[in-house]
Chains A and B, each alone.
Chain A
C-alpha cells in the first residue's frame, strides 16, 4: 500500500479465498513485503496493561523484526517506541521487562526518559551549536497507539487507515466475554508464566493454526484421550457440530471450541466463583462467559485462547517465535487460577500433551512447502456452504475453514490494496 518499494507480486492472486500460494510461506521477498505492508503499517499487538502496571514499568518486544520499548511514563501514559538510540543506533534497553526512570545508552551515554524524551547527552561540550537538537532526538514513537480492555496495539511507521475500533469490530464482544471471566473484568498477563516457543515455519502457519478446527481429533488424539478420561464431558464439542468458526472482519476470526450447558458450567467451576461472576456481571453475561470457549485471532500477530495470550513474532520467511503468556483472572478464588495453571500446562508448553504435536507439524508443513511447483495450500473446506450471521460475520462449521480464510481478506487489502 503506502510502503515504499517492495516486490511487484500480485498478492490478490496469491492469497485467494480458499487457496494460498506456497510462496507466501517461503519467499523472503514476500516476507519483506509483509513486514513493510502489514507489520509496520497496521495494528499490531504489543502488550497488555497488566504487564506494565506502574509508572516506570517497561517491557521490550518486537513489531515485526523491529525491537520496541513499551513503557508507562510518569503521567501514566503508555508509550510504544523504537528501541534504538538516536545517536548511533544501539538499543537503549537490553532486558525483557523491569522498571526504570531512564534508559541510558551504553555507547555514549545519551539518556532517555520513559516517555522517550532525550534528557541528557554524554560530553555535551564536544557538540557545537546546532549539531544536536535534543528536543528532536527523542526515541521514535509508533505512529499510532491505542488499546481495548487493556490490550495495547500499535502501528509503527504510519497511522493505519482504520481506527482500532474499526479493526476490532465484532471481535470486541468476544474479548468482553473473556474479560468477564474475572469479576473485576481484569486479567493479569504473563506474570504466571510464558512459554517461548520457536518453530521452523512461516508465521502464518501459527496464525492459521490458532483457530484450526479440523485437526484436533487427529493431531491431539493423545491429549483428547486423557482429557476425556480425566476432565470429563465438556470436550465433546471438539468432535461435535453445532459449533462454528467466524470471520469477524479485518482478518480477525473466532473458533468456538465448546459451549457448556448450565449444568456443565456448574460441574466445571466452583460455586463461589460462578456466584461471584453472577453478582458482578448479571446472570446472562456471567453464564455466557463461563459456558463459552473460543480461540480468537486478531490478525496478524495475536491470539487469545482459553488460558493464554498468544503472540506471534516473525523471524524470517521460515522461522517464527510464539510466546504463550498465561493469564490469571483478577479477583477469583485461588483454586480457579490454580486450575487455569494446571489445565494450561497440560495442553500448552513444550512438554505438554498438545502444543508440541502442533509445532512438530508446523515444521513438517514448512518442509512440504519447499515444493514450489506444488503451488496451492487448500483452505477451501466449507467455502461453498459458508453463510453470514446476523452480525455480519462470515460463518461455517467449526471444522470448516472460515476462520482460517479470514486473515486473507485483510492480507489482500494490506498487501494489494484490494477490498
Chain B
C-alpha cells in the first residue's frame, strides 16, 4: 500500500468520526475486529491489564447504542472531535494485510455546556491500524490508540477515539 492510500484511508476514518457518522465508521471494521485504548501502559497485555476500551464488535455496537441513547449522561452535551493525523507509516505490507502506524491529535470540545468555559481537550496518541482485505475493500481488523497520557488523570473518554 502506498502511503498516500494509507493516508486516504485514515483521513476518511477521521472524517466519519468527526462528522458524527458513527454507524458508517463502524462499517469500516471487520466482524472480528478489536478496538483498543490501553490504560496505564500502552504495552500491557489486555488480558492481564484493564484498558479504557477493549471492544469486540458486539461491545462496540453497545457503545454506539449508548451514545445514541438519551441516557448517556456523560455525553450531555455531546462531544465534538477533531482527529488530526500525521506521521503515517506503512508496515508489513501484503496484498491481504497491512499495518498502518500514525500519530493522531484528538481535540475534544463541547458546545452548549451549562457551566460554560468547557476546556478544549487535547489527546495526542500513537495509533496502530491493522487492515485486512475483504473483497476489494480494506477493513480495520485491529485499531489501537495509545494515548500519550494513558497513565494520567483523565476526566472523560466517552467520545469515540
Contacts and interface: CB of A to CB of B under 8 A. Distances in A.
B151 to A, nearest CB: 8
Chain B: interface secondary structure? loop
A376 interface: no
B76 A345 contact: no
Interface of A: 192-199, 219, 221-223, 225-226, 230, 321, 326, 334, 337-338, 341-342, 344-346, 349-353, 356-357, 359-361, 363, 367
Given A230-B62, A357-B72, A360-B76, A195 B50 contact: yes
B74 A342 contact: no
B54 A350 contact: no
The 5 A-B pairs with the shortest beta carbon distances in the complex, nearest first, are: A193-B50, A356-B74, A221-B71, A351-B157, A350-B157
B154 A197 contact: yes
A345 B155 contact: no
A360 B154 contact: no
A315 to B, nearest CB: 10
B154 to A, nearest CB: 5
Interface string B145-160: 0000001111111100
Contact of B73 (A198, A219, A352): A219
A361 B161 CA distance: 22
Given A198-B153, A222-B72, A345-B52, 6 more contacts: A196-B152, A230-B62, A338-B47, A341-B48, A345-B54, A350-B155
B48 A195 contact: no
Nearest to A322: B153
> Which of B44, B65, B74, B151 counts the most A-chain CB atoms under 10 A from its CB?
B74
A130 to B, nearest CB: 46
A384 B139 CA distance: 60
> Which of A219, A221, A321, A344 counts the most B-chain CB atoms under 10 A from its CB?
A221
Interface in B40-64: 40, 44, 46-54, 58-59, 62-63
A349 B52 contact: yes
A82 B28 CA distance: 53
Contact of A356 (B37, B58, B156): B156
Nearest to A219: B73
Contacts of B73: 219, 356-357, 360-361
Contacts of B157: 349-351, 356
Contacts of A221: 69, 71
Nearest to B154: A350
B27 interface: no
8 contacts: A192-B48, A196-B152, A197-B154, A199-B155, A219-B73, A349-B157, A351-B161, A359-B155
Nearest to A337: B48
B74 A359 contact: yes
A205 to B, nearest CB: 15
Contact of A351 (B37, B47, B58, B76): B37
> Which of B65, B72, B73, B114 counts the most A-chain CB atoms under 10 A from its CB?
B73
A297 to B, nearest CB: 22
Contacts of B21: none
A197 B46 CA distance: 20
> Which of A195, A199, A219 counts the most B-chain CB atoms under 10 A from its CB?
A195
Nearest to B41: A193
A192 B50 contact: yes
B131 interface: no
B58 to A, nearest CB: 8
Contact of B156 (A194, A219, A321, A359): A359
Given A341-B49, A341-B50, A360-B73, A195 B66 contact: no
Given A192-B48, A359-B155, A353 B39 contact: no
Contacts of A192: 48-50
B121 to A, nearest CB: 11
A232 to B, nearest CB: 15
A349 B50 contact: yes
B74 A357 contact: yes
> Which of B39, B47, B51, B72 counts the most A-chain CB atoms under 10 A from its CB?
B39
A314 to B, nearest CB: 14
Contacts of A326: 50
